[in-house]
């Protein structure tokens, strides 16, 4: 069947072009191979399909009838193959991505609708964790993490500008307490601590050439910055979170910021993944969608 289809397609090309030379050029084969294929087809059908002279080639009556019947079928086959190739080219499949909940809210969710509409055949299987993750050991395709925590052997693509952290507390909390002016003042405050895999996060500050790391204390240790914010809004204590997450709360005075001059920018979030010679098209599409312009 495959040989017959090849011969029929070859016949149709020669009949349309009315030239073995032009047909051979379009098909990328030799004229002698075309002549051999046409002779074989004519012998099997016991029909003379092409009239040949030294100057021209034209379909016989039988050849013209066959070409008329063949053309729609060959066109349908060509369209089917094009559709099959487009599916292969179109990014599709499941991607396992790991990130913190903060990264999911700040990076992925704002761009998710546009991405889903552009690539309906890609499924993002997102796992949220706190702290760095070994992509290979966890069998993840990619992750989103702060630049300082990404291993050197990973490909890293920036997905946010630089970020800043903010120490915040509610007006109710500060109604009976002074606002800290220096990091060491935090020892007199209740602080809501974020749990990382290695233990509670030690609050890091910097001003000019001076760097300070504080082990804070307080009534609550949790593993999600959004819960830290909710606890700070409720007056439970001071939270140390991304500035972007609380910008509106600060602007509307639901939270009061402290130690602003001690929190310089940090590198921000990057999408990272193992270096691959043949990167899946779905991963390439996600990287392009999240990449910072």
Residue 189 dihedral angles phi and psi, to the nearest 5°:
-125, 155
Average pLDDT over residues 115-143: 91
User: Could you tell me the pLDDT band of residue 114, with boundaries at 50, 70 and 90?
Assistant: very high
| Banded model confidence at residue 88, pLDDT cuts 50, 70, 90 | low
Angle at 135 between CA 130 and CA 139, to 5 degrees: 115
pLDDT score recorded for residue 272: 95
Q: What is the pLDDT of residue 278?
A: 66
> Alpha-carbon torsion 72, 75, 79, 84, what sign?
positive
Tokens standing for 223? Answer: 């593993």
Which has more confidence, 78 or 147? 147
**Distances, alpha carbon 120 to alpha carbons 61, 114, 140, in Å:** 49, 10, 21
Residues 180 and 247 in one domain: yes
pLDDT per position as a tens digit, 199-238: 888 999 999 999 999 999 999 999 889 999 999 999 999 9
Q: In terms of domains, do 255 and 274 share one? A: no
**Do 142 and 278 have their domain in common?**
yes
CATH at residue 50: 1.10.10.10
For the stretch 252-287, pLDDT in tens is 999 999 999 999 999 999 999 987 666 788 999 999
pLDDT of residue 174: 96
Residue 40 and residue 154 share a domain: no
Residues 177 and 257 in one domain: yes
Domain identity same for 152 and 109: yes
Average pLDDT of the chain, as a whole number: 90
The gap from C-alpha 250 to its chain's centroid, in whole angstroms, comes to: 32
Q: What is the pLDDT of residue 32?
A: 87
pLDDT per position as a tens digit, 44-72: 888 899 988 777 888 899 989 988 888 88
Question: What integer pLDDT is reported at residue 35 of this predicted model?
Answer: 86
- Answer yes or no: do 281 and 157 share one domain: yes
CATH of the domain at 151: 3.40.190.10
Shared domain for 202 and 228, answered yes or no, is yes
pLDDT of residue 273: 93
Q: What is the pLDDT of residues 149-177, one digit of tens each?
A: 888 889 999 999 999 999 999 999 999 99
| pLDDT band with cut points at 50, 70 and 90 for residue 86 | low
**Contact criterion met (CB below 8 Å) for 256 and 268:** no
Name the residue range of residue 183's domain.
Answer: 165-262
Q: Are 98 and 140 in contact (CB under 8 A)?
A: yes
Per the structure, how many domains does the chain have? 3
Q: How confident is the model at residue 245 (pLDDT cuts 50, 70, 90)?
A: very high
Cβ neighbour number for residue 222 with a 10 Å cutoff: 17
Residues 90-110: tens digit of each pLDDT: 788 899 999 999 999 999 999
């Amino acid at each position: 069947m495959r040989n017959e289809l090849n011969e029929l397609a070859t016949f149709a090309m020669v009949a349309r072009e009315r030239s073995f030379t032009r047909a051979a050029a379009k098909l990328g084969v030799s004229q002698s191979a075309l002549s051999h294929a046409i002779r074989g087809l004519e012998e099997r059908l016991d029909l003379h399909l092409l009239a040949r002279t030294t100057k021209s080639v034209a379909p016989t009556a039988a050849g013209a009838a066959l070409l008329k019947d063949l053309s729609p079928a060959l066109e349908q086959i060509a369209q089917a193959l094009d559709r099959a190739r487009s599916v292969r080219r179109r990014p599709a499949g499941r991607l396992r991505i790991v990130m913190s909940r903060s990264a999911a809210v700040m990076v992925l969710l704002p761009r998710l609708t546009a991405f889903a509409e552009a690539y309906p055949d890609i499924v993002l299987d997102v796992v949220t964790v706190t702290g760095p993750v070994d992509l290979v050991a966890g069998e993840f395709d990619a992750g989103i993490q702060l630049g300082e925590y990404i291993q050197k052997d990973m490909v890293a693509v920036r997905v946010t500008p630089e970020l800043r952290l903010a120490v915040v507390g509610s007006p109710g909390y500060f109604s009976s307490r002074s606002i800290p002016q220096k990091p060491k003042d935090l020892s007199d405050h209740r602080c809501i601590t974020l749990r990382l895999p290695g233990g509670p996060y030690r609050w890091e500050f910097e001003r000019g050439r001076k760097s300070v790391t504080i082990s804070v204390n307080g009534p609550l240790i949790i593993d999600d910055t959004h819960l830290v914010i909710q606890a700070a809004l409720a007056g439970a204590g001071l939270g140390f979170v991304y500035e972007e997450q609380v910008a509106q709360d600060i602007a509307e005075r639901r939270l009061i910021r402290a130690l602003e001059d001690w929190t310089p920018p940090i590198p921000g979030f990057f999408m990272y993944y193992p270096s691959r010679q043949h990167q899946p098209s779905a991963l390439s599409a996600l990287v392009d969608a999240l990449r910072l312009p």
